[in-house]
Amino acid sequence: MSGNPIIYKSYEWERLRIASRFNASLMDHLRPYVKPGITTDEINTIVHEYTVSHGHTPATLGYMGFPKSCCISINEVVCHGIPDDTVLKEGDIVNVDITSIVDGWYGDQSETFLVGNVSDEARKLVQVTFDSLFLAINTIQPESSVIEIGEAIYNYATELGYGVVRQYQGHGIGREFHTDPGIPHYPVSGSERDLLLPGMCFTIEPMLNAGTWKTVEDRNDGWTVRTKDDKLSAQFEHTILMTEQGPEILTLTQNGPQPGHQF
């Protein structure tokens, strides 16, 4: 870990909760629209208009030059897909990654949606990715080490034959989009020394591939990341606040999949 992770004071926790709660409401708002026939640009417009109409800011718009208000990644796209005129079709799996800035505080999450009827292979990948996220969340407690997250996800996913993406990881979040600690989703030497203390806020966002863990970045747009073997990829993400009682999931939705959900 470079630098020092931020430990938020207890009076700041409510600001983290408010930002994340709005982000979760945005996910629920767009949920009914993620279906065959809609373009990813139309989903982006829904995200943008809902956010701005509530007086908030889409964090990805303009971030390091990213041109849209959310990331939408379909099938073999691992992350950072740019919304465009691509039409969602029956059988796709699509990850929608949204981040909101609410009065200077960030909330961040993503979900992989099943578009209509999907293959058994796709459904199982989505299920295992979802389960791996909650397995990791349920593993940690105050003063747990970051490596416990990587071990939980990696051991579970690889035993079932999935590749765990290594090039991208979770991150600290709060007053800024990306801060320490970095949260790898596989065991990284040194991360056993990085402790998760009360007041730390971070994301866990495993990306699992149906084949190799290796990825390729699109040289044309500089953002879109695909699996190296063009096999399917899925991701789920939540923003987590570590409290004295344990991890608090700040971005749980009212209408989305809850812990234990079966796809």
Residue 237 annotated in ligand binding: yes
Q: Is 178 annotated as a binding residue?
A: yes
For residue 245, give Cα distances in angstroms to 82, 100, 140, 142, 214. Answer: 38, 26, 11, 7, 37
- Tell how strand 57-58 and strand 195-196 pair up: unpaired
Does residue 108 have a known ligand-binding role? yes
Q: What share of the chain is helix, strand, coil (3-state, %, to 5)?
A: 30, 25, 45
The response to whether 29 counts as a known ligand-binding position is no
171 is in an annotated binding site: yes
15 dihedral zone (left: phi>0; alpha: psi -120 to 50; beta): alpha
DSSP classification of residue 219: T
- Which residue stretches of the chain are H helix? 13-30, 40-53, 120-139, 147-159
Q: Does the annotation flag 159 for ligand binding?
A: no
| Binding-site residues from annotation for substrate | 80, 178
| Binding-site residues from annotation | 80, 97, 108, 171, 178, 205, 237
| Binding-site residues from annotation for a divalent metal cation | 97, 108, 171, 205, 237
